[in-house]
Chain A
Amino acid sequence: MIRHLTRRLTWAMVTLIAVYVITFFMVVMVPGQPFQQSDRNMPIEVERALRAQYSMDNNWLYFWEFLGGAVKLDFGPSFTYNDWTCTQIVAHALPISATIGILAILFAVLVGVPLGVISASRRNTWLDVSIVSGVLIGISLPTFVTGAALLAVFTVAWPILPIGGWGTLQHLPLPVITLSLPFIAYICRLTRMAMLDALSSDYIRTAIAKGVSPHDVLWTHALKVAFLPVLSYVGPATAQAVTGSFVVEKVFGVPGMGQHFVNAALNADAGLIMSTVLVFSVSLISLNFVIDVLYAWLDPRIIMAY
């Protein structure tokens, strides 16, 4: 077990370093300087001095200085938002995205898994067919459509929720539900397939033969195995949800991380690009790591494979 974990941890570090190196070089190579955000031109001496001030005229130095800062969670200044450091920006945005993301994933699991189980246990009934088609719609519809539809229903036609923004309880349901829809659909489908697989296996037949109640067979024996693929999906999905969805945040005016991924790149805001990418990678890698541990705990055979 320890060996397994050490191995995964090493790989996690290597991945993170690779992400940093690749992002760094992409950032350095893009055209455009970050100091001037308007249409006007800046005197060349001043631009040079600013570049030098942030060590941006020497890539090698910049590479190490940024890395050194990042380790201490100091990502340097943002060039678009002069008054804020990248760390402050991430510290403002990440908890907001994380709240929405975690709730969305929780909601998706709570809804998606039972739907999958029900659909598998009532295979080929009208219930199954309607769940499967609902899921198909959930996967195919982009969030900007579902988000806009929800907005139209709950804020315009039947105005019970605020249109956008952040800060109160009422701001939560719409973005959380919108963000969770595709996850629900995917989790439901995964559960259904895995359940169908599990239900046709020998140990379930044995359990039924031994007189275990149908409820227990379904929700304990079969689901325990069928949940594994869902679990391995939930890890990266959580990272994705937690670090924000640009579309959902834009539609509902949520001041989360998603907007920074896009805007930082458009503004050539080097520090902000790298800090958002690093924060995303760290969440993705660490969540995957947690999932690995859980996986090993749920199904010890996995460690045997190493």
Chain B
Amino acid sequence: MTAFRPFTWVGSTLAIALVFAFFTSTQETPADFRYVNSSGVHTLDPARMSWSQDFRVALNIWEGLTTSDPRTTQAQAGAAMFPPQLSSDQLTYTFTIREDARWSNGDPVLASDYIRGWRRGMEPGTGTDYTFLFTDNVAGASEYVHWRQRATGALTAMDRLRHGWDIDEQAALSLSRHPIFHDIQPHLPPSFFTDFDRDQGVALAKQLSASTLDWGDLYQRTFDQHVAKMDQRFSTVGLEAADDKTLVVRLLRPCPYFLDLTSFPSFLPCHASVELLRESVAGLTPEGLVVYDPQWTKPGCRKNGYPGLITNGPYYVSDWKFKRRLRMSANPFHRAFDTISSRTIDMLVYENTSVALMAYEAGEVDFLPGMDVPYDHEIAKLAQTGQRPDFHICKTFATYFMSFNCIDKRIEDRPNPFIDARVRRAFALAVDKNAIVNAVLQRGDLVAHTFIPPDALQGYHSSSGIQMDVAKAKQLLDEAGYPDGNNLPAVTLLYVPSDERVCQALARMWETNLGATVELRCQETKSFAEDKANHRFMIARGNWYGDYYDPTTFLDCFNTGNGNNDSGYSNEAYDKLLNRARNTANTTQRLSLLAQAERIIVEKDFPIIPLLHYSSPIAIKPYVSGLYPNPRLRFPFRYVSVDR
């Protein structure tokens, strides 16, 4: 063998040179404006979005009936005339879509495109986190969504049964809540069933799994009936296209922030071509879900004659390389096209936030909408002292807190002391929030005494909350039967790795100030989410980002039975106040009722201890204009101009 002779080296070198040559041929021209999104886009489907980095792209490529002002993020004109007509009872909005509103392929934007988009936001499985924005506000939406959800629950269970598989109690309970159960019940052994608890659910699941009913027939009947009724049921939702350009929205109750909502991604329109990618027989999967081929958000998707993603915003997606780069180009059919200075925008992905910052420093990118680096306290200092005028601090509309389990009497093997509000209050009083914000984190966050960030909402008067008071805390513990922390069971504190320092500090405060024993339990995020949702915690970390400019975006979390009420908190007075506010048209009165409700949770009951309101540093190159730091981190790029 003659390996490793000089010519072999030459050959290998040539091979490498070839690879290099291949690469140089794929050079990409840089965009007019470049920004970083450290983890990339999770989805471009507005109905499924949950993350602000996804919202940011969506709000640039689509346009809602309203949009948000780049400085104040207050609602301003969008694809519809502004302001829309509002009926005297404040329940009916009539939006007139602009004559010049066009999709990126030139089609006119129609009222039905908005209905299509909104319907996707309501459909179970298609709409995810923000279905509640419709069910809470649009007339008939709640009934429609629950009707759909009940049906998917029952169809899923029967689909399993007709295949001869056993079902569990959860599926059995879902089935028992559907009208078809009236046909099933007579065939089951006569017994106690009207409304089921968990144990009865187990028994029911066994009976159903063992029964000899003709599940195939029952399933098909339910499925056919459901499909036949779907459109008719949807027509009862308060959305109507009076003509091509007129959208009439009937609300459940007066909603002072509705025009803010219509600028939110869930309320974006959807082009008719999406229907080409609807998967499933008769429009539904066997489980009763409406499913679209997830490829519909790709500019290059050509399945079934689909023309690729069509949007109606100032930009359209011209190229999307997974986890690498998403390029937006100005939409030539948009009315503002001539005024758009940055014609191409690159969203670049750097998994490592430090690398993103280095790229910014090197001038490879122009804008960092977040700087979540390990040395964030240094960044905060640079921004606050004015040493780096291009670093800005955004006081976000968000709160970081610890929540208590207020409902379960026992957790694992021990009693839960936090069902007693006095104990929760004592724990809240014993926390030195200033130390956490200024000594532990040092990121320049705002100490939180309330759940809703103060001064964020016009006309809303926040409570001043409570100040640290160890003596009072001890007294409360004493009253609750735990003098000096005696008899107090060991308290578990559940959190995710990023909370490590805060939770250690908290544990220390509770141990020294109250004599409590605190067990720290750090979990990776998925296990954490599961344990928290199933109430397997005593104290757990939490945070909440307001979605729209109204106190209810925060306060609804503690409504009895709200899906995000992980504390299991329930207070009749609180629920009543929220309910009264819902039916109060007068803004001042309404806000004062909501402020009263907030006082219940931050002065008296403490389902949570608010710790801080996040301050989020962003970096904007001095040569960029048209970007403004704002609490919702919304950045419309059509106003951005770059003068390098």
Residues of B within 8 A of A268 (CB): 526
Q: Are A45 and B4 in contact (CB under 8 A)?
A: no
Assess whether A150 is interfacial by the CB under 8 Å rule: no
Assess whether B288 is interfacial by the CB under 8 Å rule: yes
Q: In the complex, what distance in Å separates the CA atom of A33 from the CA atom of B128?
A: 14
Q: Are B323 and A92 in contact (CB under 8 A)?
A: yes
Q: In the complex, what distance in Å separates the CA atom of A115 from the CA atom of B149?
A: 67
Residues of A within 8 A of B43 (CB): 81-83
Q: Are A267 and B526 in contact (CB under 8 A)?
A: yes
Residues of A within 8 A of B324 (CB): 92, 165-167, 255
Q: Are B156 and A49 in contact (CB under 8 A)?
A: yes
Q: Are B156 and A52 in contact (CB under 8 A)?
A: yes
Chain A min CB distance to B544 (Å) = 8
Assess whether A57 is interfacial by the CB under 8 Å rule: yes
Report B533-545 CB contacts with A as 1/0, cut-off 8 Å.
1000000001110
Chain A residue at minimum C-beta to C-beta distance from B527: A31
Contact of A169 among B1, B20, B165, B325 (CB under 8 A): B20
Contact of B26 among A38, A39, A151, A167 (CB under 8 A): A167
Assess whether A168 is interfacial by the CB under 8 Å rule: yes
Q: In the complex, what distance in Å separates the CA atom of A113 from the CA atom of B464?
A: 71
Interface residues of A in 149-199 (CB under 8 A from B): 151, 155-156, 159, 162-169, 171-172
Residues of A within 8 A of B182 (CB): none
How many residues of chain B are within 8 Å of chain A by beta carbon?
81
Residues of B within 8 A of A168 (CB): 23-24, 26-28
Q: In the complex, what distance in Å separates the CA atom of A41 from the CA atom of B568?
A: 13
Q: Are A49 and B350 in contact (CB under 8 A)?
A: no
Q: Are A53 and B289 in contact (CB under 8 A)?
A: yes
Q: Known: A39-B543, A92-B323, A172-B23. Contact between A53 and B285, CB under 8 A?
A: yes
Q: Are A45 and B23 in contact (CB under 8 A)?
A: no
Residues of A within 8 A of B520 (CB): none
Q: Are A167 and B28 in contact (CB under 8 A)?
A: yes
Chain B min CB distance to A119 (Å) = 16
Interface residues of B in 5-50 (CB under 8 A from A): 5, 9, 12, 15-16, 19-20, 23-24, 26-28, 40, 42-45, 48, 50
15 contacts between A and B (CB under 8 A): A32-B527, A38-B50, A39-B529, A46-B152, A48-B153, A49-B124, A50-B125, A83-B298, A155-B358, A162-B359, A164-B355, A165-B348, A219-B5, A253-B355, A267-B526
Q: Are B24 and A253 in contact (CB under 8 A)?
A: no
Q: Known: A166-B324, A223-B4. Contact between A44 and B174, CB under 8 A?
A: yes
Assess whether B362 is interfacial by the CB under 8 Å rule: yes
Q: Are A45 and B322 in contact (CB under 8 A)?
A: no
Q: Known: A83-B43, A164-B355, A267-B526. Contact between A220 and B125, CB under 8 A?
A: no
Assess whether A284 is interfacial by the CB under 8 Å rule: no
Assess whether A84 is interfacial by the CB under 8 Å rule: yes
Residues of A within 8 A of B1 (CB): 220, 224, 298
Q: In the complex, what distance in Å separates the CA atom of A172 from the CA atom of B349?
A: 17
Residues of A within 8 A of B297 (CB): 83
Q: Are B19 and A249 in contact (CB under 8 A)?
A: no
Residues of A within 8 A of B323 (CB): 92-93, 255, 259
Assess whether B449 is interfacial by the CB under 8 Å rule: no
Q: Are B351 and A259 in contact (CB under 8 A)?
A: yes
Assess whether B179 is interfacial by the CB under 8 Å rule: no
Assess whether A211 is interfacial by the CB under 8 Å rule: no
Q: Are A52 and B362 in contact (CB under 8 A)?
A: no
Assess whether B150 is interfacial by the CB under 8 Å rule: yes
Residues of A within 8 A of B2 (CB): 220
Report A19-57 CB contacts with B as 1/0, cut-off 8 Å.
000000000001111011111111111101110110001
Contact of A92 among B44, B45, B322 (CB under 8 A): B322
Residues of A within 8 A of B44 (CB): 83
Assess whether B160 is interfacial by the CB under 8 Å rule: yes
Q: Are A45 and B50 in contact (CB under 8 A)?
A: no
Assess whether A77 is interfacial by the CB under 8 Å rule: yes
Q: In the complex, what distance in Å separates the CA atom of A30 from the CA atom of B529?
A: 13
Residues of B within 8 A of A107 (CB): 16
Residues of A within 8 A of B499 (CB): none
Which of A82, A168, A219, A223 has the most chain B CB atoms closer than 10 A to its own CB? A82
Chain B residue at minimum C-beta to C-beta distance from A262: B351
Chain A residue at minimum C-beta to C-beta distance from B526: A32
Residues of B within 8 A of A151 (CB): 355, 358
Beyond A106-B12, A249-B351, A253-B350, 12 additional contacts (C-beta under 8 Å) are A31-B527, A32-B525, A38-B51, A81-B322, A92-B322, A164-B352, A164-B358, A165-B324, A172-B20, A172-B23, A220-B2, A255-B351
Assess whether B143 is interfacial by the CB under 8 Å rule: no
Interface residues of A in 60-93 (CB under 8 A from B): 77, 80-85, 88-89, 92-93
Q: In the complex, what distance in Å separates the CA atom of A30 from the CA atom of B524?
A: 11
Assess whether A251 is interfacial by the CB under 8 Å rule: yes
Contact of B355 among A53, A223, A252 (CB under 8 A): A252
Q: Are B16 and A45 in contact (CB under 8 A)?
A: no
Interface residues of B in 154-185 (CB under 8 A from A): 155-157, 159-160, 165, 170-171, 174
Q: Known: A103-B19, A164-B355. Contact between A48 and B322, CB under 8 A?
A: no
Assess whether B592 is interfacial by the CB under 8 Å rule: no
Chain B min CB distance to A188 (Å) = 15
Assess whether A266 is interfacial by the CB under 8 Å rule: yes
Assess whether B294 is interfacial by the CB under 8 Å rule: yes
Interface residues of A in 215-229 (CB under 8 A from B): 219-220, 223-224, 227
Which of A46, A159, A172, A220 has the most chain B CB atoms closer than 10 A to its own CB? A46
Q: Are A49 and B51 in contact (CB under 8 A)?
A: no
Residues of A within 8 A of B171 (CB): 48
Q: In the complex, what distance in Å separates the CA atom of A169 from the CA atom of B352?
A: 21
Assess whether A110 is interfacial by the CB under 8 Å rule: yes
Q: In the complex, what distance in Å separates the CA atom of A250 from the CA atom of B349?
A: 11
Q: In the complex, what distance in Å separates the CA atom of A110 from the CA atom of B497?
A: 42
Assess whether A125 is interfacial by the CB under 8 Å rule: no
Chain A min CB distance to B513 (Å) = 29
Assess whether A99 is interfacial by the CB under 8 Å rule: yes
Q: In the complex, what distance in Å separates the CA atom of A49 from the CA atom of B20?
A: 49
Q: Are B364 and A163 in contact (CB under 8 A)?
A: yes
Chain A min CB distance to B549 (Å) = 19
Contact of B124 among A45, A82, A227, A253 (CB under 8 A): A45
Interface residues of A in 228-266 (CB under 8 A from B): 249-253, 255, 259, 266
Chain A min CB distance to B278 (Å) = 14
Q: Are B287 and A52 in contact (CB under 8 A)?
A: yes
Q: In the complex, what distance in Å separates the CA atom of A25 from the CA atom of B348?
A: 36
Contact of B149 among A36, A41, A43, A167 (CB under 8 A): A43
Assess whether A58 is interfacial by the CB under 8 Å rule: yes
Q: Are A48 and B174 in contact (CB under 8 A)?
A: yes
Chain B residue at minimum C-beta to C-beta distance from A148: B354
Chain A min CB distance to B171 (Å) = 6
Chain B residue at minimum C-beta to C-beta distance from A260: B323
Q: Which 5 A-B pairs have the closest CB atoms?
A: A32-B526, A45-B153, A38-B50, A49-B287, A253-B350
Q: In the complex, what distance in Å separates the CA atom of A32 from the CA atom of B19?
A: 42
Q: Are B42 and A80 in contact (CB under 8 A)?
A: yes
Q: Are B149 and A45 in contact (CB under 8 A)?
A: yes
Assess whether B295 is interfacial by the CB under 8 Å rule: yes
Chain B residue at minimum C-beta to C-beta distance from A41: B563
Q: Are B156 and A45 in contact (CB under 8 A)?
A: yes
Q: In the complex, what distance in Å separates the CA atom of A253 from the CA atom of B129?
A: 30
Report B320-335 CB contacts with A as 1/0, cut-off 8 Å.
0111110000000000
Q: In the complex, what distance in Å separates the CA atom of A97 from the CA atom of B542?
A: 37
Q: Are A219 and B530 in contact (CB under 8 A)?
A: no
Q: In the complex, what distance in Å separates the CA atom of A171 from the CA atom of B324?
A: 13
Q: Are A30 and B526 in contact (CB under 8 A)?
A: yes
Interface residues of A in 85-143 (CB under 8 A from B): 85, 88-89, 92-93, 99, 103, 106-107, 110, 113
Which of A35, A38, A92, A259 has the most chain B CB atoms closer than 10 A to its own CB? A38
Q: In the complex, what distance in Å separates the CA atom of A80 from the CA atom of B525?
A: 13
Chain B residue at minimum C-beta to C-beta distance from A173: B20
Chain B residue at minimum C-beta to C-beta distance from A43: B149
Chain A residue at minimum C-beta to C-beta distance from B545: A39
Report B500-543 CB contacts with A as 1/0, cut-off 8 Å.
00000000000000000000000011110111010000000011
